[in-house]
Structures are given as C-alpha cells and as structure tokens.
Amino acid sequence: MPRRREGTLLPLELSILEAGLELQAADGDFYGFALAKRIAEHAGDSGALTAHGTLYKALGRLTEAGLLESEWEDPAASEREGRPRRRLYRVSGLGERAASAAAAAQAAARAAAAPRTAPVGKAALA
C-alpha cells in the first residue's frame, strides 16, 4: 500500500482538527465522543457517528505526530459524574497550522478544478 506524503492529512484527520478547534474554542479540552458528534453534525448526519476504532486510531496518529496533545482527565471529575475517565484532547499550535494549510490546499484544489467560463459579449469576440 503506498504511503502518503509527509504532512498530508487524510480527510478524517482534517475533520478531527477542524471540529477539535471548534470544540476547544467553546469548551477547552474535548473528548472522543464529543468530537464524533461534532464531525457527524458537520457531515449533516447527527445520527451517524464515525466508527470508534477509526476515530481513535486517527486520534492516536495525530497525537503521535504532535498535532494533538492528550491527557487523562482528573479521576475525581469522572467519579462525581459516575462514568469512566475520558481522554481529553487539545489541538496543538502545530495542529492549528496543519489544519489551516490543509484547508487552504483543499480550497486551491477546488478552485483549480472549477470550470472556467469565457466572457460573453462583444468584448469577448474582439
């Protein structure tokens, strides 16, 4: 299987970074399930979540690459709410720059692929 170029983000990875930045701006650190819900909302299908295995593998890759930072939440917080501890994530500065660059590259690719139309009218015939 061919390897992707270094610095290239998969569509899911870009979605994770973009959704993570939104969640981070609103609530600070974010966790996997909240991220999956936000990605589904962006896709227009709040009922279809990204498979957890797929999501958490991508989160691991992004953390390993330094695009995300992660840590386990304080055990007292989960005990108070009667649930398991969550792994909390933050988009790093490097992750922010990578998301911006990938979004700009996607926009440029869409612009290059857009059909070009010739001007219409007398000036075009001259």
CATH number for the domain that contains residue 68: 1.10.10.10
Domain contains 78: yes
In a domain, 116, yes or no: no
| Residue 39 is assigned to a structural domain of this protein | yes
- The pairs formed by 33-41 with CB atoms below 8 angstroms and a separation of 24 or more are 35/59, 35/89, 39/12, 39/15
Q: How far is CA 38 from the centre of its chain?
A: 10
| 73: in domain | yes
pLDDT at 44: 81
Task: Determine the residue type at 79.
Answer: E
Of 2, 16, 6, the C-alpha closest to 58 is 16
What pLDDT is recorded for position 1? 45
Q: What is the pLDDT of residues 80-100, one digit of tens each?
A: 999 999 999 999 999 999 999
Amino acid, single-letter form, for residue 46: S
Q: Let me know if residue 120 belongs to a domain.
A: no
Within a domain: 126: no
Q: Is residue 54 part of a domain?
A: yes
> Between 11-27 and 93-113, two packed helices, what is the crossing angle to 10 degrees?
130
Domain span at residue 38 reads 11-111
The answer for residues whose C-beta is within 8 angstroms of residue 95's C-beta and 6 or more apart is 17, 20, 62, 66, 67, 68
The residue ranges of the chain whose pLDDT is under 50 are: 1
Torsion angle, CA of 32/33/38/39, rounded to 10 degrees? Answer: 70
Q: What is the pLDDT of residue 121?
A: 62
Q: What domain count does the chain have? A: 1
Q: What is the pLDDT of residue 51?
A: 84
In-domain check, residue 3: no
